[in-house]
Amino acid sequence: MTKKKELSVTEKKAIDKSAGEPTKHGVVFTPNVDIYETEHEIVVKADLPGVTKKGLDIDLRDGVLTLTAQVEEPKDDAKPVYREYQVGGFARKFQVGETIDQAKISAKLDKGVLTLVLPKADRLKPRKIEVKAS
C-alpha cells in the first residue's frame, strides 16, 4: 500500500503556462522551497527576497495552493550600467491533499522568507488510546 501524499510539488523551475499567459508585465521567478513534515503538520518555507506583505497573495482554491508575489523595482535616480540580477515577481503552485486541514493553513512572512504551516487533519494525527482498568 502506498502512502498518499499530503502535498505534491512539481520539479519545474519555469512557470507553467498551460493555464494561459501571464497578465502582468515583467519577469516571474519560481521561488525555491524547503518542505518539512512533522507528526502534526507540513511546513513549507519559500524564498521570496524583496517581497512585502502588501505584494504577497496566497490563494487556496480547488485543492491548489497558489503563491504569487510582486517585487517593486528599486527607485533610484541612477540608471544601471550593468546588472547581474533581475527584479521580478514570484509564482508557485502546490497540490494540497485531503489529509491537510485546509481551514487551518497559516502563513508568516519574515525578511523575505515565507513560512506556510499546513496542519494535518485531526483524523489522521496519531493519538494515544487510554486504557481503563476495572
Quick one: pLDDT at residue 14?
47
CB 66 within 8 Å of CB 59: yes
Quick one: pLDDT at residue 116?
97
129 lies in a domain?
no
Mean pLDDT, residues 24-50: 90
pLDDT averaged over every residue in the chain: 82
9 lies in a domain?
no
Cell representation of residue 23: 497578465
Please indicate, yes or no, whether the overall pTM of this predicted structure exceeds 0.75: no
Rounded to an integer, what distance in angstroms lies between the CA atom of residue 53 and that of residue 51? Answer: 7
Better-scored residue on pLDDT, 18 or 5: 5
131 lies in a domain?
no
Angle (CA) 100 102 104, round 5°: 105
CATH number at residue 104: 2.60.40.790
10 lies in a domain?
no
**What is the tally of structural domains in the chain?**
1
Give the max Cα distance, the chain.
83
103 lies in a domain?
yes
pLDDT band at 80 (very low <50, low <70, confident <90, very high): confident
70 lies in a domain?
yes
Rounded to an integer, what distance in angstroms lies between the CA atom of residue 88 and that of residue 94? Answer: 20
The partner residues of 93 in beta bridges, in order of sequence, read 66
Mean pLDDT, residues 105-116: 95
CB 93 within 8 Å of CB 72: no
Q: Could you tell me the residue range of the domain that residue 45 belongs to?
A: 27-75+85-122
